[in-house]
Amino acid sequence: MARRLVEMVLLAEALINAGIIPGIKVDTGARDRAGQPGEKITEGLDGLRDRLTKYAQRGARFVPWCAGFTLGENAPGRACIEANAQTLARYAALCQEAGSVPIVEPEVLMGDSHTLAQCFEVTGEVLHTVFDPLYTQQVMREGLP
């Protein structure tokens, strides 16, 4: 029986060869903010610098991180918005340091218990709050899609 040698190709390499730019989600999920069930903080900064280096070496070129905000009677609160904004900015700075493109995703989650006007107001507040820390962390906004 003849043996055939099969060449192993990394998934990222196969994607690149097919004209697809590979990326990887790096956050570790959203958890309830301390003392505020229902308000979520996206986690995953611990060890991120080292993970980003490994992912870049393996071919990942973009890195999404989503911070979701649920609308409620008093949610999201200012502390939730600011905590997620700071986390998004630190993540984006680490991505750019590693040579990856950060996909900063502050997302006001749609539901059926709020109006379009409420969604518009909270989305504006979230976006304004996210961009200040990006500037403070010296994230190149031109490098954000």
50-62 residue pLDDT tens: 999 999 988 889 9
Q: What percent of the chain has pLDDT over 70?
A: 93
Average pLDDT over residues 35-47: 92
d(CA 58, CA 45): 20
- pLDDT of residue 96 exceeding 70, the answer is yes
How confident is the model at residue 36, as a pLDDT? Answer: 86
Burial class (CB in 10 A: 0-12, 13-18, 19+), 20: exposed
Average pLDDT over residues 81-107: 96
- pLDDT of residue 30 exceeding 60, the answer is yes
Domains of the chain (ranges, CATH numbers) = 21-143 (3.20.20.70)
Question: For the chain, what is the mean pLDDT?
Answer: 88
Tokens coding 38: 């229902």
Tokens coding 120: 């518009």
Quick check: 41 and 84 in contact, CB under 8 A? yes
Q: Is 15 helix (H, G, I), strand (E, B) or coil?
A: helix
Element (H, E) at 46: none
How confident is the model at residue 29, as a pLDDT? Answer: 94
Quick check: 110 and 73 in contact, CB under 8 A? no
Q: Is 43 helix (H, G, I), strand (E, B) or coil?
A: strand
* Kind of pairing between the strands at 29-33 and 101-109: unpaired
- pLDDT of residue 106 exceeding 60, the answer is yes
How confident is the model at residue 109, as a pLDDT? Answer: 86
How confident is the model at residue 51, as a pLDDT? Answer: 95
**Helix ranges (DSSP H) in the chain:** 11-17, 48-57, 78-97, 116-136
